[in-house]
Copies of this chain bind each other. A is one copy, B any other.
Amino acid sequence: MPRTRLYRDGKLAKEDFPAADISDYVTDPAAVVWLDLCPPEGDDLQLIEEEFGLHVLALEDAVHPGQRPKLDHYGSHLFLSCYAVADPGTPVDPGAPGTLAAHELAVFVTRNALITVRKSTGFDIERVTARWDELANLAECGVGFLLYGLLDCIVDSYFTVTERLDERVDALEDKLFDESRDQIRAVQRESFLVRKDLMRLRRIVLPMREVVNELLRHDSPLVGPTLMPYFQDVYDHLLRVSEQVDSLRDMVATMLEANLTIQGNRLNTIMKKVTSWAAIIAVPTAVTGFYGQNVPYPGFGRLSGLLTSSAIILIGVVVLYWVFRRKDWL
């Protein structure tokens, strides 16, 4: 069942009344109406098209998923497309796609009504109604107040996710200079996933900045002098989020570059070990090769020969091992 609210003269007058009653209120100049469709069913959209005189292209965008965040101006109403985000935690399978969940919303703003169309149930609309109730003293500002409460909740979801991504980047950084193979791979995969999430978040937040900026710039009756600082605050939060996202992207790019040099270190280390072991192995080979000669070397066929060769092998191996250890080659 669609959620509804009716504000009259800046007071919450009714809640969750049937959507069909809306036609009684839309002509009342003192009334402000909210209607939430999640997801829109049957003839819901046709109903609001007629009731509020919405443009057919705006309704199309409200139905088709994957719109970019934007603000469209139609004669009598605005159409807002945006995304709330959520982070369901680290995926169990590290090969799974990025963990960022984006919930698309379509919003119609008329002179005295706010219609929210949630394309999926992921975004919790109760947080928005709670925010409206907290700020009840601004309710007299009309539909702009409802829009502010909604935008504020959406932008808060960006902060939550950005903080979680920041933690993931910090965790990556702690593992960065560890040269074990598993850590190098963990950094690679996780960096890739974080980078993907950051790319997606960025594409949600950046155009949102433009949307709010447009609301601020145009002298619409929607945002009056009382609400202006509140919308500016939302804009400021969007700037803050986008700066954090850019900062995290820089960090991840830096870490991936560092990862390359650390792989280089590891390869250098392994090459040195190969060299060292090759030299150590050469000692018994050369010595036993010598004593295997069919020529009368000192100790040929005698116990003294055995002792000498064994001693040379032992001393050679031990000395080389000690030298390489000291040179930090082994």
Which residues of A are interface residues toward B (Cβ below 8 A)? 55, 57, 66-68, 70, 72, 74, 95, 174, 176-177, 181-182, 184-185, 188-189, 192, 195-196, 199, 203, 229-230, 232-233, 236, 239-240, 243, 247, 250-251, 254, 256-275, 277-279, 281-282, 284-297, 299-303, 305-306, 309, 313, 328
User: B293 touching A284 by the CB < 8 A rule?
Assistant: no
User: A268 touching B181 by the CB < 8 A rule?
Assistant: yes
CA distance in complex: A306, B189 (Å): 52
User: B285 touching A275 by the CB < 8 A rule?
Assistant: no
A-B complex: 7 closest residue pairs judged by Cβ atoms: A288-B289, A295-B305, A291-B293, A263-B264, A281-B282, A292-B292, A284-B286
User: B265 touching A268 by the CB < 8 A rule?
Assistant: no
A274 to chain B, nearest CB (A): 5
User: B291 touching A300 by the CB < 8 A rule?
Assistant: no
User: B263 touching A256 by the CB < 8 A rule?
Assistant: no
* Other-chain residue from B185, B263, B284 in contact with A290 (beta carbon distance below 8 A): B284
Give the interface SS of chain A, mostly helix, strand, loop or mixed: helix
A214 to chain B, nearest CB (A): 14
A187 to chain B, nearest CB (A): 9
Q: Which residues of B contact A288 (CB under 8 A)?
A: 286, 289-290, 292-293
CA distance in complex: A193, B199 (Å): 22
* Other-chain residue from B250, B261, B277 in contact with A188 (beta carbon distance below 8 A): B261
User: A251 touching B196 by the CB < 8 A rule?
Assistant: yes
A235 to chain B, nearest CB (A): 10
A103 to chain B, nearest CB (A): 18
User: B177 touching A189 by the CB < 8 A rule?
Assistant: yes
Most chain B CB within a 10 A radius of its CB, from A181, A278, A295, A299 = A295
CA distance in complex: A232, B236 (Å): 26
Given A289-B292, A294-B291, answer yes or no on A263-B274 (Cβ-Cβ < 8 Å): no
* Other-chain residue from B72, B188, B278 in contact with A236 (beta carbon distance below 8 A): B72
